[in-house]
């Protein structure tokens, strides 16, 4: 996260949202440690729950210019949002709020690559944690990008998303990852209607 923080500050700052995971106070401490602004940009922080995107968007608008392209990074969090909270609807709401030319990046745990994770997730979820572990398959993770222009190489095992070496590509990774761009409105683009930015 530190490298991402530094790069985003160089690009003009960013808004960091720590999604509500009460059993992980280290996330809150890490976010507070990153709260350093510079002449290049402002850093803001919100301790929020992804299941409440309206609050996130409202608070983010105090820091970010929603008239300029930006990126929504949902890395390692959507698998903590149960289907009963409509994670696709949450992603849609976030994407509808940002302008064309913006990006969406997702990193999502799966059992497609290592099936033994199914048992791990079941055991973890039996503990009735505030944040369940929902392992979604490739097709389901890919569907989060509906209506967007998926960048190459598409939704792939995270270690294979533009690896720097063969050794990096061979690393174990139980996540599907991808990046997509929100297109300008044009006739025939699924999921986007006139009036959406």
CA–CA distance from 5 to each of 21, 26, 100, 129, 187 (Å)? 20, 17, 23, 29, 37
Which DSSP string do the residues of 12-75 spell out, in sequence order? TEEEEEEE--TT-HHHHHHHHHT---BTTBEEEEEEE-TT-HHHHHHHHTTTS-TTS--EEEEE
CA–CA distance from 195 to each of 12, 19, 101, 157 (Å)? 27, 29, 15, 35
Q: Is the pLDDT of residue 150 over 90?
A: yes
> For the chain, which residues make up each domain, given as ranges?
2-181
pLDDT grade for 31, boundaries at 50, 70 and 90: low
pLDDT grade for 12, boundaries at 50, 70 and 90: low
Q: Interhelix angle for 87-97 vs 53-60, to 10°? A: 20
Q: What is the mean pLDDT of residues 159-167?
A: 90
What is the distance between the alpha carbons of residues 15 and 3, in angstroms, rounded to a whole number?
A: 15
pLDDT grade for 154, boundaries at 50, 70 and 90: very high
Domain 2-181, classified CATH 3.40.50.300, yes or no: no
Residue keyed to tokens 């990126």: 71
Model pLDDT for residues 73-122, shown as the tens digit of each residue: 898 899 999 999 999 999 999 999 999 999 999 999 999 999 999 999 99
Q: Is the pLDDT of residue 7 over 70?
A: no
Give the torsion through C-alpha atoms of 91, 95, 97, 103, to 10 deg: 130
């Amino acid at each position: 996260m530190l490298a991402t923080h530094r790069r985003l500050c160089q690009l003009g700052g960013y808004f960091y949202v720590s999604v509500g995971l009460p059993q992980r106070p280290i996330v809150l401490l890490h976010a507070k440690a990153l709260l350093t602004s510079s002449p290049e940009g402002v850093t803001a922080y919100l301790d929020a729950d992804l299941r409440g995107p309206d609050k996130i968007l409202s608070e983010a608008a105090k820091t970010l210019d929603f008239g300029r392209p930006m990126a929504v990074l949902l890395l390692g969090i959507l698998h903590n949002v149960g289907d009963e909270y409509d994670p696709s609807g949450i992603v849609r709401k976030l994407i509808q709020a940002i302008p064309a030319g913006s990006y969406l990046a997702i990193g999502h745990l799966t059992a497609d690559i290592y099936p033994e994770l199914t048992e791990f997730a079941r055991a973890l979820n039996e503990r009735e944690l505030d944040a369940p572990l929902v392992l979604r398959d490739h097709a389901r993770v890919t569907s989060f990008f509906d209506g967007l222009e998926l960048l190459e190489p598409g939704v792939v095992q995270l270690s294979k998303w533009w690896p720097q070496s063969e050794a990096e590509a061979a690393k174990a990774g139980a996540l599907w990852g991808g990046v997509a761009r929100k297109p300008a409105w044009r006739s025939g683009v699924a999921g986007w209607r006139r009036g959406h930015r």
